Structure 1
Amino acid sequence: MAVRLRPSISVPVHSRHARCSKPFLSPTTSSHFQLLATKMSAPEAENKAPTYTTKTIDSHLHIWASPQEAADKYPYFPGQEPYLPGHVDFLIQHMEEAGVDGALIVQPINHKFDHSLVTSVLKKYPSKFVGCCLANPAEDGSGIKQLEHLILKDGYRAVRFNPYLWPSDQLMTNDIGKAMFSKAGELGVPVGFMCFKGLNLHISEIEELCTDNPSTTVLLDHLAFCVPPITDEEALAVSNLLKLSRFPQVYVKLSALFRVSREKFPYRDLTSMLSQLVCTFGANRIMWGSDFPFVIPECGYKGAREAVSTIANQVPLSSSELEWIMGGTIMQLFQGHWLSP
């Protein structure tokens, strides 16, 4: 039986402070943002905190087998051997030190379509972790059946679309991609997009899939890989990201800040982008994520959490908005998890 994930809490959390009256401008261009100005200067809506006790939940991290686990039971995919430790005990240690209560585990490319390791962790820690499986766009359609099995049998509650796993001459809007995206909506699980080479390359695919399947929730990993713009192309990417807010089903992960910032920790140059995201999407459609374990050599796991507070103070965000971003949004989206003491 499919588990529905559509949010049941309906609250207007677009806290449109004075910061929202001005669009975020690139040093080199402003034309891409003029269409957003009217929307951003709309009357302020009431900002409410979640109606439950919010925990700190990481919306994006990975785990993989230790070398010993890989040798014994969970082999790495050939050519994808990790260069960092990422076993679950290592993760839990860092979560405890940082005061993080739970997380969404995204299936790593290191094990590709073999989900057995992550599945074992989900079963061992059912109240701590939720799983996001990896979509297999095999041309024979076998990935659709695998998706159904992972969700209905193994309990995964999200799926990741990696466009670079599709055949090089095909898009995520091919027949297989459309079928999997539609199936995700039918099963009530969000689809995460990993636009590693830039949102501009994939924006038309995402828009088409959202338009054709408004019931399928979308998660944009790592700010859709948009960076604080200094070129017209970068400004267009940020514009495309903000305009995706017109689709109510789209959420943004404020994750892997080290990947999208031009600065070192605490990544203060992301302040303006976060401000505009809150103005356009609302804090209840934004969620923090670390991108563990890749974040460890960058600023550490605890630093990943602290950076968001630093940036939020610069915006500034209200305490309720920060509460949504640090846990309220993902708890609302994946209802029934992380609610126990």
Structure 2
Amino acid sequence: MAASNAEAIPSPSSCPPPKILDSHLHVWASPKEAAENYPYFPGQEPSVPGDADFLLKCMSEAGVDGALIVQPINHMFDHSLVTSVLRRHPSKFVGCCLANPADDGSGIRQLEDLVLKDGYRAVRFNPYLWPPGQKMTNEIGKALFSKAGELGVPVGFMCMKGLSLHISEIEELCESYSSTVVLLDHMGFCKPPLTDEERYALSSLLKLSRFPQVYVKFSALFRLSRNQYPYEDTRDILSKVISSFGANHVMWGSDFPFVVKECGYREAKEAVPLIANRIPLSSADMEWIMGRTLGQLFHREWQA
């Protein structure tokens, strides 16, 4: 019996290698696709190539197995381009739609349709799309956040102008709706702190670990670092985030296609172990950050 049990347990050498998953990237139409089927939102024409074929090439060269595609502002609330990519590659990608905080509440129905009909598995809150003077905690924002929890889709927050501007809103939403999972894009845009304001932002980020539903994306390092590639000055923030949240709440993301002109897509992936070696991190922690965390959140998409 003992021998039989031993045979049933796969040896480490027979286990498949852990999947490498990218928690944050974008795709948009090529100029040809935009002209024929998927127009850009007026005034949001992209400055760099970001079509799906280019992404797939970059992922193949880098050995990245799957990714979460975040709806780009280049197509605003028209999700047809990203939906077409998700349908063509259902085992490779999951989609994060863009919340529409329109005053008439139409974005709530749109969120339901995108999740239930088109299969999106997350939603992004961009506070700069809220009506002027309105916060993400207004009636529409709370309804969208609550609906995301009901639908079982995480909410990603994009705080490009600084986490400090929106931390109170995020805290209020987390306190009020504990069943809604939260993803903090690009570590809340917290840079290695040099000023009191930056130290406050990082402290606010770390204190969010008191909410068990909060996850942090170690993504778009070129936006956070004050140094050139491989952005090693982000190591202290990463170390503190892991100490506060646990590696199983941290996930790597590239911010394709913007990262391509900054350092290259493959290099963006390779920067993480270079940074981690300076902390250092265990191999288990690295597995969580490089794919296992995202895989656990969206496990159905990347099952073996």
TM-score (norm 1): 0.84
1:206 aligns with 2:166: no
1:291 aligns with 2:255: yes
Q: 1:195 & 1:202 partners in 2: Cα distance?
A: 7
- Residue in structure 1 matched with residue 4 of structure 2 by the alignment: none
- Residue in structure 2 matched with residue 310 of structure 1 by the alignment: 274
- Residue in structure 1 matched with residue 93 of structure 2 by the alignment: 129
CA 1:306–1:53 in structure 2 vs 1: closer, same or farther (change >3 Å)? closer
Q: 2:132 & 2:18 partners in 1: Cα distance?
A: 42
From 70, 75, 80, the equivalent of 2:39 is 75
- Residue in structure 1 matched with residue 209 of structure 2 by the alignment: 245
SS in 2 for 1:276: helix
From 108, 124, 130, the equivalent of 1:166 is 130
1:213-232 alignment, distance < 5 Å = 213-232=177-196
Q: Gaps (5+ residues) in structure 1?
A: 1-50
Letter of the 2:180 counterpart: T
Q: 1:225 & 1:106 partners in 2: Cα distance?
A: 17
- Residue in structure 2 matched with residue 339 of structure 1 by the alignment: 303
From 192, 195, 199, the equivalent of 2:156 is 192
Q: 1:93 & 1:335 partners in 2: Cα distance?
A: 24
Q: CA deviation at 1:325?
A: 0.1
The CA deviation string for residues 125-165 of structure 1, in whole angstroms up to 9 with x for no partner, is 00000000000000000000000000000000000000000
Letter of the 2:150 counterpart: E
- Residue in structure 2 matched with residue 100 of structure 1 by the alignment: 64
From 258, 268, 276, the equivalent of 2:240 is 276
Count of residue correspondences = 290
Q: CA deviation at 1:54?
A: 2.5
Letter of the 2:211 counterpart: F
1:326 aligns with 2:287: no
Q: 1:332 & 1:296 partners in 2: Cα distance?
A: 27
Q: CA deviation at 1:52?
A: 8.4
Q: CA deviation at 1:338?
A: 1.5
Q: 1:109 & 1:219 partners in 2: Cα distance?
A: 18
From 214, 222, 240, the equivalent of 1:258 is 222
SS in 1 for 2:91: coil
Q: 1:92 & 1:207 partners in 2: Cα distance?
A: 36
SS in 1 for 2:262: coil
Letter of the 1:308 counterpart: V
1:177 aligns with 2:146: no
The CA deviation string for residues 266-298 of structure 1, in whole angstroms up to 9 with x for no partner, is 001011111111100000000000000000010
The CA deviation string for residues 281-325 of structure 1, in whole angstroms up to 9 with x for no partner, is 000000000000000010000110011111000000000000000
Q: CA deviation at 1:53?
A: 5.5
TM-score (norm 2): 0.94
- Residue in structure 2 matched with residue 64 of structure 1 by the alignment: 28
Q: 1:117 & 1:126 partners in 2: Cα distance?
A: 14
The CA deviation string for residues 227-284 of structure 1, in whole angstroms up to 9 with x for no partner, is 0000000000000000000000000000000000000100010111111111000000
Q: CA deviation at 1:168?
A: 1.5
1:115 aligns with 2:79: yes
Q: Which runs of 4+ in 1 moved over 4 A?
A: none
- Residue in structure 2 matched with residue 147 of structure 1 by the alignment: 111
Q: 2:187 & 2:271 partners in 1: Cα distance?
A: 15
Percentage of identical aligned residues: 71
- Residue in structure 1 matched with residue 49 of structure 2 by the alignment: 85
Larger RCO, structure (CA 8 Å, separation 6 or more): 1
SS in 1 for 2:217: strand
Letter of the 2:133 counterpart: D
Q: For the aligned residues, what is the CA RMSD?
A: 0.9
The CA deviation string for residues 92-145 of structure 1, in whole angstroms up to 9 with x for no partner, is 000000000000000000000000000001000000000000000000000000
Q: 2:227 & 2:244 partners in 1: Cα distance?
A: 24
**Structure with higher helix content:** 2
